[in-house]
Amino acid sequence: MLNRRSILGAAGAVLLTIGALAGALAEEKSIIVQSTTSTANSGLFDHLLPLFQQKTGIRVDVVAVGTGQAIKNAANGDGDVLFVHAKADEEKFVAEGNGVERFDVMYNDFVVVGPKADPAGIAGSRDAAAALAKVAAAGAPFVSRGDDSGTHKAELKLWKAAGVDVKAASGGWYRETGSGMGQTLNIAAGMSGYALTDRATWAAFQNKGELTIVVEGDTKLLNQYGIILVNPVKFPRVKAEAGKAFVDWVISDEGQKAIADFKVSGEQVFFPNAKKAGG
Amino acid sequence: MASIVSTVPFPGRFASAPQVRTSRCQRSLQTVDLGFEAGGKTILDKVSMTLSPSGLTVLLGPNGAGKSVFLRLANGLLLPTRGTVRWGDDRPTDATRLTQSFVFQRPVLLRRSALDNVAFVLKLRGVAEARGKARSLLDAAGLGALADRPARVLSGGEQQRLAIVRALATGPGVLLLDEPTASLDPASVAAVEALIRSAESQGVKVILVTHDVAQARRLAHDVVFLSGGVVREHTAAADFFLSPHSAEARAYLDGRLIPQEETNSC
Amino acid sequence: MPTANATVAFFLIDTMQDFTLAFVLAGQLLIGLDPTLMGIVGLSLAVTGSALLVACLIGFPVGALIGFRQFRGRSFVIVCLNALMGLPPVVVGLLVYMMLSNAGPLGFLQLLYTPSAMIVAQAVLITPIVAALSRQVVETLAREYADTFRTLVVPWPTALLALLRDGRSGLATVALAGFGRAIAEVGAVIIVGGNIAHVTRVMTTSIALETSKGDLALALALGFVLLLIALAVNATVAALSLATREAGHG
Q: CB-based contact (8 Å) between A195 and chain C?
A: no
Q: Do chains A and B touch (3 or more CB pairs under 8 A)?
A: no
Per the CB < 8 Å rule, is C101 touching A237?
Answer: no
Say whether pLDDT at A277 is over 50: no
State mean pLDDT over C76-97.
94
Distances (CA, A) of A151 to A148, A156, B235: 8, 9, 97
Question: In the complex, which subunits touch C with 3 or more CB pairs below 8 angstroms?
Answer: A, B
- Give one DSSP letter per residue of A121-174, joined into a string: --TT-S-HHHHHHHHHHHT--EEE--SS-HHHHHHHHHHHHHT--HHHHBTTTE
* pLDDT level of residue B25 (50, 70, 90 thresholds): low
Contacts of A191 in chain C (CB under 8 A): 3, 6-7, 10
In a domain, B118, yes or no: no
- Choice between C178 and B21, residue whose per-residue pLDDT is larger: C178
Q: Residue A148's pLDDT is what?
A: 85
Counting every residue, how long is chain B? 266
Q: Residue A41's pLDDT is what?
A: 85
Per the CB < 8 Å rule, is B77 touching C147?
Answer: yes
Number of domains forming the structure of chain B: 1
In a domain, B14, yes or no: no
State mean pLDDT over C202-223.
89
Across the interface, of C149, C166, C250, the residue whose CB is closest to B10 is C149
Q: Which residues pair with A63 in a beta bridge?
A: A34
- Choice between A216 and C218, residue whose per-residue pLDDT is larger: A216
Per the CB < 8 Å rule, is C215 touching A206?
Answer: yes
Q: Could you tell me the sign of the dihedral formed by the alpha carbons of A264, A268, A269, A275, in that order?
A: positive
Q: Provide the chain B residues 162-191 that lie in CB contact (below 8 A) with chain C.
A: 170
**Amino acid identity of C52?**
L
State mean pLDDT over B136-142.
92
Say whether pLDDT at A170 is over 60: yes
Say whether pLDDT at C117 is over 90: yes
Q: Could you tell me the sign of the dihedral formed by the alpha carbons of C138, C139, C143, C148, in that order?
A: positive
Distance from CA of B19 to the nearest CA of C (A): 13
Would you give the DSSP letter of residue B17?
A: -
Domain boundaries of chain C, sorted by first residue? 36-234
Q: Residue C16's pLDDT is what?
A: 67
Q: Residue A56's pLDDT is what?
A: 95
* pLDDT level of residue A38 (50, 70, 90 thresholds): confident
- Choice between C221 and A257, residue whose per-residue pLDDT is larger: A257
CATH homologous superfamily of A2-107+224-272 equals Periplasmic binding protein-like II (3.40.190.10)
* pLDDT level of residue B236 (50, 70, 90 thresholds): very high
Sorted by sequence, the CB contacts under 8 Å of residue B238 that are 6+ apart come out as none
Q: CB-based contact (8 Å) between B14 and chain C?
A: yes
Size of interface B-C (CB pairs under 8 A): 83
Contacts of C7 in chain A (CB under 8 A): 186-187, 190-191
Pairing of strands A99-115, A271-272: antiparallel
Count CB atoms within 10 A of the CB of residue C236. Answer: 10
* pLDDT level of residue B40 (50, 70, 90 thresholds): confident
Say whether pLDDT at B17 is over 70: no
CA dist B156 and A128 (Å) reads 85
State mean pLDDT over A48-70.
94
pLDDT above 90 covers a percentage of chain B that reads 71
Per the CB < 8 Å rule, is A183 touching C211?
Answer: yes
CA dist C209 and C188 (Å) reads 15
pLDDT tens per residue across span C138-178: 999 999 999 999 999 999 999 999 999 999 989 999 999 99
Q: Residue C28's pLDDT is what?
A: 83
Expressed as residue numbers, the domain containing B260 is 2-7+27-109+154-265
Q: Residue B109's pLDDT is what?
A: 94
Which strands make up the sheet holding B82-87, listed edge to edge?
A: B41-51, B29-38, B82-87
Across the interface, of A22, A182, A189, the residue whose CB is closest to C116 is A22
pLDDT tens per residue across span B86-101: 999 899 999 999 999 9
State mean pLDDT over A36-43.
87
* pLDDT level of residue B23 (50, 70, 90 thresholds): very low
* pLDDT level of residue B255 (50, 70, 90 thresholds): confident
CA dist C222 and C26 (Å) reads 7
**Lowest-confidence range among A272-276, B185-189, C93-97?**
A272-276
Distance from CA of C224 to the nearest CA of A (A): 19
Q: Residue B56's pLDDT is what?
A: 95
Question: In the complex, which subunits touch B with 3 or more CB pairs below 8 angstroms?
Answer: C
Q: CB-based contact (8 Å) between B124 and chain C?
A: yes
Domain boundaries of chain A, sorted by first residue? 2-107+224-272, 109-221
Domains A2-107+224-272 and A109-221 share a fold: yes
Contacts of B7 in chain C (CB under 8 A): none
Task: Name the pTM for this structure.
Answer: 0.80
* pLDDT level of residue A2 (50, 70, 90 thresholds): very low
Alpha carbon of residue A7 to chain centroid: 43
Sorted by sequence, the CB contacts under 8 Å of residue C122 that are 6+ apart come out as C47, C48, C51, C52, C55, C182, C185, C188, C189
State mean pLDDT over B116-140.
94
State mean pLDDT over A70-87.
94
Per the CB < 8 Å rule, is A187 touching C7?
Answer: yes
Q: CB-based contact (8 Å) between C167 and chain B?
A: yes
Q: Residue A31's pLDDT is what?
A: 95
Q: Which residues pair with A271 in a beta bridge?
A: A107
Across the interface, of B14, B112, B121, the residue whose CB is closest to C249 is B112
Asked whether the beta carbons of B53 and B28 are under 8 A apart, the reply is: yes
Per the CB < 8 Å rule, is A191 touching C216?
Answer: no
CA dist B261 and C9 (Å) reads 64
CA dist B70 and B224 (Å) reads 11
Asked whether the beta carbons of A276 and A226 are under 8 A apart, the reply is: no
Distances (CA, A) of A122 to A125, A165, A173, A187, B37: 6, 19, 16, 20, 87
In a domain, B89, yes or no: yes
Q: CB-based contact (8 Å) between A260 and chain C?
A: no
Domain CATH for B258? 3.40.50.300
Half-sphere exposure in the Cβ direction for B107 (13 Å, CA) = 28
State mean pLDDT over A116-135.
95
- What is the SS3 assignment for A86? coil
Distance from CA of B99 to the nearest CA of C (A): 9
Say whether pLDDT at A155 is over 50: yes
Asked whether the beta carbons of B180 and B207 are under 8 A apart, the reply is: no
Q: Which residue of B has its CA nearest to C143?
A: B5
Closest CA relative to residue A106, chosen from A275, A272, A278, A276: A272
Contacts of B14 in chain C (CB under 8 A): 155-157
pLDDT above 90 covers a percentage of chain A that reads 72
Per the CB < 8 Å rule, is C162 touching B120?
Answer: yes
Question: In the complex, which subunits touch A with 3 or more CB pairs below 8 angstroms?
Answer: C
Sorted by sequence, the CB contacts under 8 Å of residue B220 that are 6+ apart come out as B56, B57, B58, B60, B208, B237, B240
Say whether pLDDT at C60 is over 50: yes
Closest CA relative to residue A164, chosen from A189, A142, A187: A142
* pLDDT level of residue B83 (50, 70, 90 thresholds): very high
CATH homologous superfamily of C36-234 equals MetI-like (1.10.3720.10)
Q: Could you tell me the sign of the dihedral formed by the alpha carbons of B21, B94, C137, C125, in that order?
A: negative
Closest CA relative to residue C188, chosen from C123, C118, C127: C118
Mean pLDDT of chain B: 85
Q: Which residues pair with B56 in a beta bridge?
A: B206
Asked whether the beta carbons of A71 and A148 are under 8 A apart, the reply is: no
Say whether pLDDT at B9 is over 50: no
Distance from CA of C57 to the nearest CA of A (A): 10
Based on C-alpha coordinates, what's the Rg of chain C? Answer: 21
Distance from CA of B261 to the nearest CA of C (A): 26
Say whether pLDDT at B262 is over 90: no
Asked whether the beta carbons of A150 and A36 are under 8 A apart, the reply is: yes
CA dist A88 and B59 (Å) reads 92
Q: Residue A20's pLDDT is what?
A: 52
Q: Which residue of B has its CA nearest to C157?
A: B14
Alpha carbon of residue C16 to chain centroid: 31
Domain A109-221 falls in which CATH fold? D-Maltodextrin-Binding Protein; domain 2 (3.40.190)
Across the interface, of C107, C196, C211, the residue whose CB is closest to A182 is C211
Distance from CA of A61 to the nearest CA of C (A): 6
CA dist B93 and A262 (Å) reads 83
Say whether pLDDT at B13 is over 60: no
What is chain A's percent helix, strand, coil content, to nearest 5?
45, 25, 30
Per the CB < 8 Å rule, is C213 touching A180?
Answer: no
- Give one DSSP letter per residue of B118-184, joined into a string: HHHHHHHTT-TTHHHHHHHHHHHTT-GGGTTSBGGGS-HHHHHHHHHHHHHHT--SEEEEESTTTT-
In a domain, B119, yes or no: no
Q: Which residue of B has its CA nearest to C148?
A: B108
Count CB atoms within 10 A of the CB of residue C110. Answer: 14
CA dist B161 and B165 (Å) reads 6
Asked whether the beta carbons of C130 and C57 are under 8 A apart, the reply is: no
Say whether pLDDT at C13 is over 80: no
